A and B are shown apart, each in its own frame.
Chain A
Amino acid sequence: MKNKLFHIPNSMWIMIMFHLTFSGILPVFAEDTKSRDLMINPDQQYRFAMNYFKQSQYGKAITEFERFVYFFPEHKMVDNAKYHIGLSNFHSERFKEAVEPFSGIVETSRDKDLIAKAHFRLSEIFVSLEDYQTAIKVLNHLSEISNNNVIVDEAHYRSGWIYLQLNDMENARRHFNMISLQNQDHFRIQAINEELSREKLFPEKNPRLAGFLSILPGAGFAYCERYQDAMVAFLLNAGLILASYESFDSGNEALGGVIAFVGAGFYAGNIYGAVASAHKYNRASHQRFLENLRNKTQITLSAAPEKQGIVLGFRVNF
């Protein structure tokens, strides 16, 4: 005989099962799903981006630093992240893309060290883009806004080197001499001034003289110490002039005209080449002078990797 007291109808069983299913079991699954959600805090994201940066995987580092800036725009390391975006572009030689993050730091950051470092990087970028005037403007701007002697002196030092690269010795000397007395030893200004005070800094050839000498084919090349080129220019032009003369002389005007046309090109090319050779000689000579000066007075300038201000490294060749 069935006990009526504990009799539960089928519909009730369905209700109980329904309740158990949706109030008990599903939340367990939901909890399980929640536990699998990835939660990344700002420090983890920043470290992850830095990890790529340190491994020189700059493309990935840029993506992760941008993610950091997007998700944590109020975080105190946002400016540093932007700085590293710029730096990653700079190391990848994507100079134009590197300008924007550094400019953003210069305009909006409150961190003075970071602003100084961004200025220095911007000037390096513009030097790489061969926009020397803008590089100097950036450094001038830094020396106007900064009240830190070391930073201002480094800005003058860098400007001096850019002027040296432009072969503007007067402005180079002016900037080197604007460095404060207490830092002159550090920047080896005396040694630089001694090198720059020489009467003849480096040998040069006069391009106009090279062009003028080329009236006699090959003489301009010889003046620029290119003796093989000089010989070829002389023989080739002499041969073409002779061939043209003989063609006209023997009544072959058409042939003479063609040879004269070709000869005119080589004659003009001989003048052009001599002038270009003088310019190339001067450029190579200037580069050797700078290299020599760098070796004699070298100091290593670098912006600190983390928040430790500007770092100066010194190296003296004995």
Chain B
Amino acid sequence: MLLSAIITLLMISPCFADNNLRQKQDQPDGNLFLFPINFFRKYISGADGDRCPMHPSCSTYSLEAFKKHGPLKGWVITCDRLMRCGRNELKLSPPIIAREKTRTSDPLKNNDFWWNKSGEP
């Protein structure tokens, strides 16, 4: 059980790291659901380093998803991104220079366009 929890944390933690954007985007937000993400960006990711190979980083992506789609769908979209981060997407999506390195471009609009097509704003 403990091993499973550790594996889970190890798999998802690098993806949340994003130092450079943190300063700009860490403005206090009244949304309670964003608190864990903001907490992570402010206190954990700073020590961990900017290791997310995607652009925007998983934490930025997650913030966007929560703001755009609300807490429930935002959480699901975040989980999806964490599973995809740094794997097949690296070959399937175009590279982009971001945060002083070559990253893989994977904006939210590339993953929710089909939902929007079916009518949701």
List residues of A whose CB falls within 8 A of some B CB: 207, 221, 226-229, 232-233, 235-236, 239-240, 242-243, 246-247, 250, 259, 262, 265-266, 268-270, 272-273, 275-276, 279-280, 283-284
Contacts and interface: CB of A to CB of B under 8 A. Distances in A.
Given A239-B7, A268-B76, A268-B79, A273 B84 contact: yes
A302 to B, nearest CB: 28
A269 B77 contact: yes
Given A229-B87, A279-B113, A265 B79 contact: yes
Given A239-B8, A243-B4, A268-B79, A207 B114 contact: yes
A272 B8 CA distance: 19
Given A233-B83, A272-B80, A280 B5 contact: no
Main secondary structure of the interface of A (DSSP, over half): helix
B32 interface: no
A229 B1 CA distance: 23
B83 A240 contact: no
Contacts of B8: 236, 239-240, 243, 262
A280 B111 contact: yes
12 contacts: A221-B88, A228-B87, A232-B87, A233-B83, A243-B1, A247-B1, A266-B82, A268-B79, A269-B80, A273-B83, A276-B80, A279-B113
B75 interface: yes
Contacts of B96: none
Interface in B75-121: 75-84, 87-89, 92, 110-114
A227 B112 contact: no
Contacts of A233: 83
A68 B110 CA distance: 43
Contacts of A232: 11, 83-84, 87
Contacts of A265: 75-76, 78-79
Contacts of B82: 266, 269
* B contact residues, range: 20 to 34
A238 to B, nearest CB: 8
The 7 closest A-B pairs by CB, nearest first: A269-B79, A243-B4, A273-B80, A279-B114, A269-B80, A239-B4, A228-B87
Interface of B: 1-2, 4-5, 7-8, 11, 75-84, 87-89, 92, 110-114
Contacts of B80: 269-270, 272-273, 276
Nearest to A217: B83
Contacts of A272: 76-77, 79-80
Given A243-B5, A280-B111, A236 B78 contact: no
B48 to A, nearest CB: 19
A284 B4 contact: no
Contact of A276 (B5, B11, B112): B112
A235 B8 CA distance: 9
B114 A236 contact: no
A280 B108 CA distance: 12
Nearest to B73: A272
Contact of A240 (B4, B81, B112, B114): B4
A279 B112 CA distance: 10
B68 to A, nearest CB: 14
B118 to A, nearest CB: 10
B19 to A, nearest CB: 24
A221 B81 CA distance: 13
Contacts of A243: 1-2, 4-5, 8
